[in-house]
Amino acid sequence: MSATEYISSYEIIQITPDELPLCVSFWGETSDKRLTERKTFVYKTGGEYVGGFAIFERYEKCGHFSHFFVRDDLRGQGIGSRLLEFAVLYLRDMGMEIMRLHVEKTNTKAIKLYERHGFVHSGDATPDKMIMVKELKA
């Protein structure tokens, strides 16, 4: 399979905690308890899981997005954008009105990506991390 085919034929699926060991190539430490407590979704291509994210309802109608990773050799090809767009649609379908995430203030690449997808800064989560939010109401 060519590199282009490898990334163009894909599906985004929800996985169960017993599949977390298949995600070490992008999540590394998959024993993170939060991954087993949240809904986890992965990007499946070429029979492999190569990226993913987790979500949970942080408070009423606010969906929190976390654990957003793409395998490092496949970054910069649109996989992250597809995962993020999927998460937005999924949370909207769940009836969430706000989507929220925390990002390291130094992670300019991720911040740019979130801004391109309509997220705005909304204060600090910790001294090192900012909160970003996106309105999901139509």
Ligand X SMILES: CC(C)(COP(=O)(O)OP(=O)(O)OC[C@H]1O[C@@H](n2cnc3c(N)ncnc32)[C@H](O)[C@@H]1OP(=O)(O)O)[C@@H](O)C(=O)NCCC(=O)NCCS
Rounded CA separation 16/14 (Å) = 7
Q: Which stretch binds ligand X (CB under 6 A): 14-22, 88-96, 107-115, 117-125?
A: 107-115
Bridge-partner residues for 98, per DSSP? 62, 135
Q: How far is the CB of 112 from ligand X (least distance, A)?
A: 4
Return the residue of 98, 103, 130, 136 that touches ligand X, per CB under 6 A. Answer: 103
Is residue 25 a contact residue for ligand X (CB under 6 A)?
no
How many chain residues touch ligand X (CB under 6 A)? Answer: 16
Bridge-partner residues for 121, per DSSP? 132
Q: How far is the CB of 86 from ligand X (least distance, A)?
A: 12
Beta strands in the chain (DSSP E): 10-15, 39-45, 48-59, 62-70, 98-104, 120-124, 129-135
3-class SS string, 10-41: EEEEEECHHHHHHHHHHHCCCCCHHHHHCEEE
Is residue 125 a contact residue for ligand X (CB under 6 A)?
no
Q: How far is the CB of 15 from ligand X (least distance, A)?
A: 17
Bridge-partner residues for 48, per DSSP? 45
Choice between 42 and 70, CB closer to ligand X: 70
| Contact assessment for residue 31 and residue 56, using Cβ atoms and an 8 Å cutoff | no
Is residue 80 a contact residue for ligand X (CB under 6 A)?
yes
Is residue 34 a contact residue for ligand X (CB under 6 A)?
no
Is residue 30 a contact residue for ligand X (CB under 6 A)?
no
